[in-house]
Amino acid sequence: MPAYKLAPTVSGPAVPPSEALPLPKAVPGGRLDPAVVAWAVLVFALLFLGLAPLYVLHQDLAKLNANSSSAPPIVIIGILLTAWTPAIAALLIAWRWPGAGGVRRLLKPLTRWRVHVGWYLVALLGPIPLLLLADLIYVALGGAAPQQWIALPSGTAEGGLAAIPFTIGAIVAGALGEELGWRGFGQLRLQRSIGALGAAIAIGILWSTWHLWPVAVPGGLSLFSWTDFPQTYVRLTSTAILYAWLLNGSRGSLLLVLVAHGAFNLDTSIVQTPASDVHTIPIIVAVLHGLAALAVIVATNPRTLTRRRTQDLP
């Protein structure tokens, strides 16, 4: 699921260098890590494996989106699998690829919870003011205000009781299913060769392309407006920069990034948007992501996306 982080500051609380994690060493000569390339290829191979039933059984995604009750179980299972492909690919490459570090090293950043409370506040609460600001800008431009600006997810909301498990599922899959791959494997390894900013941009482009998988299956393209493509790349690439800042600023706490991703998925259910608009507000949110990412870039070292020296990269 889409994710981002807007932070009130770009410096962040410091973490003692002695607590840094034993993460992969830099790739000599700036050479691209072959394990990352193998992981990226496997992510998309698994993605299309999960989507294969849509092709084989000639299922129209637009019709399934309107009513999935009649969909064959294998189709639903395949679509659910797609949400976990970054993490599954990371686990497989870490387990079997020579020099990938092993599964234990991959999972180690998930256990790093001793991070200054300020980072957790940024991760948990940052999405709310950004989403509210997007609504305010939309209203200032002449759009209709939402009936409620903030509302907790409930069984009486749109979608009924089904909205609650869907929200929980989006939080879990979006956080763990994605972040173990995008940040836990891709960002941490790739930044050793091309720097944190370069790695974040590369991961952001992969992440955006992966999120647009519906365009590749029957009926999927009809679910998109042309504006969905540029705003997705702007928003998620900017988010990748912000998440890399969180990751490196906390000296490798992948748990913190999971919290941020899950908080975004939850906060998009809490902050309400006008039902009459489905295109303008996402564009505004994407622009705000870009501005937040630009603030991080300006205030930090591009090699680390922190104010620390390059050799302090986790």
The answer to whether residue 10 is domain-embedded is no
Residue 55, domain extent: 18-312
DSSP state of 301: B
The answer to whether residue 214 is domain-embedded is yes
Beta carbons of 210 and 47 less than 8 angstroms apart: yes
The tokens of 95 are what?
């387990």
Does residue 39 carry a pLDDT above 90? Answer: yes
Highest mean pLDDT among 133-142, 170-179, 269-278: 133-142
Q: What total of structural domains would you count in the chain?
A: 1
Beta carbons of 35 and 93 less than 8 angstroms apart: yes
The answer to whether residue 75 is domain-embedded is yes
Beta carbons of 3 and 265 less than 8 angstroms apart: yes
What angle, 0 to 180 degrees and rounded to 10, lies between the N-to-C axes of helices 188-211 and 228-249?
Answer: 160
The percent of residues above 90 in pLDDT, for the chain, comes to 61
The answer to whether residue 77 is domain-embedded is yes
Distance separating alpha carbons of residues 51 and 74, to the nearest angstrom: 10
The answer to whether residue 95 is domain-embedded is yes
Contacts of 48 (CB under 8 A, 6+ apart): 216
The answer to whether residue 71 is domain-embedded is yes
Distance separating alpha carbons of residues 187 and 202, to the nearest angstrom: 9
Split at pLDDT 50, 70, 90, the class of 159 is: very low
Residue type at position 238:
S
Question: How many other CB atoms sit within 10 Å of the CB of residue 113?
Answer: 10
The answer to whether residue 72 is domain-embedded is yes
Closest listed residue to residue 210, CA positions, set 38, 73, 50: 50
The answer to whether residue 11 is domain-embedded is no
Does residue 73 carry a pLDDT above 80? Answer: yes
Does residue 29 carry a pLDDT above 60? Answer: no
Q: Using alpha carbons, list the distances in angstroms from residue 257 to 19, 130, 286, 314.
A: 18, 17, 19, 14
The pLDDT value given to residue 279: 82
Distance separating alpha carbons of residues 282 and 143, to the nearest angstrom: 13
Task: Evaluate if pTM is beyond 0.75.
Answer: yes
Q: Which residue has the tokens 């000296």?
A: 251
Residue type at position 227:
T
Beta carbons of 99 and 35 less than 8 angstroms apart: yes
pLDDT digits (tens, 9 = 90+) for 89-110: 999 999 999 988 899 999 999 9
The percent of residues above 70 in pLDDT, for the chain, comes to 80
The pLDDT value given to residue 66: 81
The pLDDT value given to residue 285: 94
The pLDDT value given to residue 22: 39
